[in-house]
Structure 1
């Protein structure tokens, strides 16, 4: 391999759930990620739950403590959003973060949409159509679409002045990503010039193919569509739930926290299939709970990890804050060096 063929080092990040009642713990987690020199920290988003239902507010606040690390979402579900208001909030948060926002967008996560109707309004159209319309409008607003001309009733603005959703923030558009699971949705993100976020599950197409094969197909569809649309290779973030542990006691505690089917090995929670994506069948990645070197080896054996530009560690949801910090520190100090040395 020549010097010109050397691959850029992959970006490393963390994906965490920060509950509204535990914002101080969330701040400490983000500060630790920055101390470990990780590139980015993402928040998991859930509505009608405690998991960061207003992630841009949380990120803007956290960004006043963490001064370097980029901060993002995985993902903001567009089913609940108004495109104009979201464009305003994304741009304002990015300004407050000094250009460090890495927002991931997505469709939503429940097949039972009726439970959200009272709080967020019932959908008048198919959810996929609604999400696509919100996404298209959002990107147009971020790109600076003229949405109206000022009339005599807008103070301080000459009549006829072109009006855009404000603020307009250069660079925000190229840092937006879409959380896609299927090849078709991944290709859509590529054509739109968005980054791609790949999670720990993929739609089960009934072929019996493994999680990694299915997800690699989505990644390749994204790259191909991005190149064809003139956006180059794009940017792919892949998240994996791996738990580096250093004692047998830690091993047993974390295995009990992760609700996955068990494989023959006591340190591996196997890839498995379940009805999870919008009520449809899904394939989940395996979770390795083992010593740091074994976790690094498992990640390095993953072809999707090799093909990605960014690797984000998913911290175990429900683990005490101290345990989450312990896992993050082990990843940053004991796993990351193996990854970077082997991938480069």
Structure 2
């Protein structure tokens, strides 16, 4: 099996979907949703490969992914549509399987679903408010993996309930969910913040969505630690003997400074911001990845030397969604024209019409 030899062949944007009543352009949930659709349409026209969205609960951010994914699928024809990530602790896995199948069919098989345990939330054990409590002796991470197993089995067509003899005439059969979308099972990604969870994802046959932070600090720069994680994932994938090539994505904040407006918003951050090390909660020390702000050619050279960017096949660019569709479209256009080709990427063919 051929493994990715280096540099991204796909580039997408990743939106956190923030809104705030005092924000410059995105002041409501409706703004965040409609602008997300419009940005995906614009990105497809630019030849960008993917439109990805964060999923957060109990915050002024995008939360319910499937209506948004389906709406984008109905408005576009080529671009991949994904999440980064759906917190499986909160999900009814069977209902999620139905929603995912329907959204993927509307999109013509373009969903790329990033799922995982998720990140800390403003709500204490918020998944319990959704009705999901880890079984005694297990953790919330166990809960996420249990939900994931049920979800993946369901989208693959596994039987999930016994047939009712009153309607089927038999009691010895099991029935599965509908609708099923062929190939969706190969387009599930696990959001991983550690080397061990990346190995686990490979063993399960899921693609790898390497997190914007690593919840382990080995003392080496973020990109090198992330590249090590990717290498261990690919080695575990090969050892497992899966018959397809896996996908691997990394995310970076990339802000080219081209106009006076760019410099007004981001000029005080000119230059690469190095790794940051801090606690995401009381016990978890994490290393956060760098961000890149400056002239396009300088950013291109920095990304070309980023070990994890070169190891991945997909680069997700976080966008300042609250600055609106026009600003982010222009920013993505600048990256596509002046930054991304230097790291080996070329725009997708834009469909006529």
Question: Smaller-chain TM-score range?
Answer: 0.7 to 0.9
1:188 maps to what in 2? 200
1:267-294 Cα offsets, whole Å, 9 max, x none, are: 2222111212786111111111111111
Q: Aligned in 2, Cα 1:222/1:51: closer, same or farther, shift over 3 Å?
A: same
Q: Aligned in 2, Cα 1:341/1:53: closer, same or farther, shift over 3 Å?
A: closer
* Counterpart-to-counterpart distance in 2, 1:228 and 1:28: 42
* Counterpart-to-counterpart distance in 2, 1:61 and 1:85: 18
Structure 1: stretches of 5+ with no match in the other structure: 257-261
Cα deviation for residue 85 of structure 1 reads: 1.1
* Counterpart-to-counterpart distance in 1, 2:5 and 2:236: 24
Cα deviation for residue 306 of structure 1 reads: 0.9
**Residues 74 and 103 of structure 1 are in contact (CA less than 8 Å); yes or no, is this contact kept in structure 2?**
yes
Structure 2: stretches of 5+ with no match in the other structure: 19-28, 347-353
* Counterpart-to-counterpart distance in 2, 1:200 and 1:68: 26
1:91-143 Cα offsets, whole Å, 9 max, x none, are: 11111111011111010211775262574136234101111111111122222
**Residues 109 and 277 of structure 1 are in contact (CA less than 8 Å); yes or no, is this contact kept in structure 2?**
no
| TM-score, with length taken from structure 1 | 0.87
Cα deviation for residue 225 of structure 1 reads: 1.2
1:179 maps to what in 2? 191
**Residues 38 and 325 of structure 2 are in contact (CA less than 8 Å); yes or no, is this contact kept in structure 1?**
no
Q: Does residue 15 in structure 1 map to residue 14 in structure 2?
A: yes
Aligned-residue RMSD, C-alpha: 2.5
**Residues 149 and 159 of structure 1 are in contact (CA less than 8 Å); yes or no, is this contact kept in structure 2?**
no
1:87 is paired with a residue of what secondary structure?
helix
Cα deviation for residue 307 of structure 1 reads: 0.9
* Counterpart-to-counterpart distance in 2, 1:314 and 1:65: 22
* Counterpart-to-counterpart distance in 2, 1:235 and 1:200: 17
1:224 maps to what in 2? 235
1:307 maps to what in 2? 311
* Counterpart-to-counterpart distance in 2, 1:72 and 1:299: 23
2:104 is paired with a residue of what secondary structure?
helix
* Counterpart-to-counterpart distance in 2, 1:111 and 1:16: 18
**Residues 150 and 162 of structure 1 are in contact (CA less than 8 Å); yes or no, is this contact kept in structure 2?**
yes
| TM-score, with length taken from structure 2 | 0.85
* Counterpart-to-counterpart distance in 2, 1:153 and 1:279: 54
* Counterpart-to-counterpart distance in 2, 1:341 and 1:59: 25
Q: Aligned in 2, Cα 1:188/1:248: closer, same or farther, shift over 3 Å?
A: same
Report how many aligned residue pairs link the two structures.
Answer: 327
Q: Aligned ranges for residues 119-130 of structure 1 at < 5 Å?
A: 119-121=129-131, 123-125=133-135, 126-130=139-143
Select the structure with the greater relative contact order (CA < 8 A; seq sep ≥ 6).
2
2:119 maps to what in 1? 109
**Residues 15 and 319 of structure 2 are in contact (CA less than 8 Å); yes or no, is this contact kept in structure 1?**
yes
1:213 maps to what in 2? 224
2:275 maps to what in 1? 271
2:297 maps to what in 1? 293
Q: Aligned in 2, Cα 1:13/1:278: closer, same or farther, shift over 3 Å?
A: farther
2:25 maps to what in 1? none
1:288-336 Cα offsets, whole Å, 9 max, x none, are: 1111111211111101111111111111354344332332221122222
